[in-house]
């Protein structure tokens, strides 16, 4: 029929890529899938503008190494994306190109040229931002626990510090995922739908139990644990807003917070750093946080200045004029004890 556009190879491939390949065959999380969606949507808009046609008229032959190269330059020059962001977009395009190669081998030569586009070097790794012990305490005291919203926020932050879980993992928690009898624990579904069990301390379990009792919910219910004022699942943007609001309040009392760029993932960094300071081994921390490999966990060892000072004391005690047993410059934080009192 005139005026209607039939699905072409590109349209059908995109549907299979997002509906079947990424979630089912690759087992990617919704967060990663959304990142890939945003990257390809930007690309499609760029190609549509370049070819002066509607997105629905684009097809596989519009994907070339030249067009992808121009798109990447646009990200940096016009959108002012960092090298890291540029490389993330390219990673999504590479994944889609590999998928297309299995679906349409007749386009293999062009797709190989796209896969040959290199990632850009020179990306700076942002420093790991985290909260010190006094800053954690200040943040946990900030919510007004005389209100239901304040009690929810206090429980949310306490659980984030207790478990070091990713924000979306916490938001996906259902009431039935929390065990409030000894041993107290929560069940997370992490990246790649990997399941892990994380212990929680009695005080954290008490905060969660209070939330459940206020909502008059049974332990085995599958509704979200953390909800907004409308009773629907709290979102990542909601958590970011809450954190920013409370940090603004406590920064008046704790001035060091104002100089830090703290976001929800920083609370995960905080747990990792303090576990490491407390002497917990890398393998345990890796399991605790749900890291795919130890390399990810070990970056925290490079993030803390106190740990670097301790390393100097161990390697060059005489040069520094300090006894090797002198730990004054390295304050071990008893994370197990202070987190029990969250």
Q: Using alpha carbons, list the distances in angstroms from residue 138 to 135, 150, 187, 203, 228.
A: 5, 14, 28, 17, 23
Are 297 and 291 in contact, with CB atoms under 8 Å apart?
Answer: yes
Determine which one of 166, 269, 274, 277 is catalytic: 166
Residue 265's nearest CA partner among 292, 289, 233 is 289
Instruction: Give the 3-state DSSP-derived string for 221-275, with helices as H, strands as E and coil as C.
Output: CCCECCECCCCCECCHHHHHHHHHHHHHHHCCCCHHHHHCCCCHHHHHHHHHHHH
| Catalytic residue flag (residue 80) | no
What's the rounded Cα separation, in Å, for the pair 201 and 203? 6
| Catalytic residue flag (residue 120) | no
For the whole model, what pTM was predicted?
0.62
What's the rounded Cα separation, in Å, for the pair 199 and 185? 4
Are 65 and 116 in contact, with CB atoms under 8 Å apart?
Answer: yes
| Catalytic residue flag (residue 265) | yes
Determine which one of 151, 174, 191, 215 is catalytic: 191
| Catalytic residue flag (residue 309) | no
For the CA atoms of 205, 207, 212, 213, the dihedral, rounded to the nearest 10 degrees, stands at 110
pLDDT by residue for the chain (342 residues), tens only, comes to: 344 456 788 999 999 999 999 988 888 877 788 889 999 999 999 999 999 998 989 999 999 999 999 999 999 999 888 888 899 999 999 999 999 999 999 999 999 999 999 998 865 555 678 899 899 999 999 999 999 999 999 999 999 999 989 999 999 999 999 999 888 999 998 877 788 888 888 999 999 999 988 887 766 688 899 999 888 999 989 999 999 999 999 998 999 998 888 999 899 989 888 887 777 777 778 877 887 766 667 666 655 555 545 544 443 444 434 443 444 333 433 444 544 454
């Amino acid at each position: 029929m005139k005026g209607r556009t039939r699905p072409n190879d590109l349209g059908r491939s995109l549907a299979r890529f997002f509906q079947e390949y990424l979630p089912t065959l690759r087992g990617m999380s919704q967060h990663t899938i959304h990142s890939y969606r945003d990257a390809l949507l930007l690309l499609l808009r760029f190609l549509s503008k370049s070819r002066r046609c509607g997105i629905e008229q684009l097809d596989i032959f519009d994907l070339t190494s030249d067009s992808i190269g121009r798109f990447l330059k646009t990200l940096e020059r016009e959108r002012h994306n960092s090298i890291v962001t540029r490389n993330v977009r390219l990673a999504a395009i590479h994944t889609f190109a590999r998928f297309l190669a299995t679906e349409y081998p007749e386009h293999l030569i062009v797709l190989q040229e796209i896969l040959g586009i290199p990632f850009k070097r020179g990306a700076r790794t942002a420093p790991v931002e985290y909260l010190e012990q006094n800053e954690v305490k200040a943040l946990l005291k900030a919510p007004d626990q005389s209100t239901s919203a304040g009690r929810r926020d206090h429980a949310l932050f306490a659980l984030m510090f207790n478990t070091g879980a990713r924000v979306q993992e916490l938001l996906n928690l259902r009431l039935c995922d929390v065990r409030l009898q000894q041993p107290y624990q929560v069940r997370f579904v992490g990246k790649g739908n990997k399941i892990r069990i994380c212990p929680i301390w009695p005080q954290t379990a008490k905060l969660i139990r209070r939330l459940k009792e206020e909502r008059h919910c049974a332990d085995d219910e599958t509704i979200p644990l953390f909800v907004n004022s409308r009773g629907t699942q709290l979102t990542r943007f909601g958590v970011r807003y809450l954190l920013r609001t409370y940090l603004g309040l406590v920064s008046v009392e704790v001035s060091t917070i104002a100089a830090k760029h703290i976001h929800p993932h920083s609370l995960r960094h905080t747990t990792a750093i303090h576990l490491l300071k407390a002497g917990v081994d890398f393998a345990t921390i890796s399991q605790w946080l749900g890291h795919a490999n130890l390399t990810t966990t070990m970056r925290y060892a490079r993030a803390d200045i106190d740990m670097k000072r301790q390393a100097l004391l161990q390697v060059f005690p005489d040069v520094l004029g300090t006894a090797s047993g002198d730990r004054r410059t390295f304050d071990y934080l008893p994370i197990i004890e202070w987190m029990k009192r969250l």
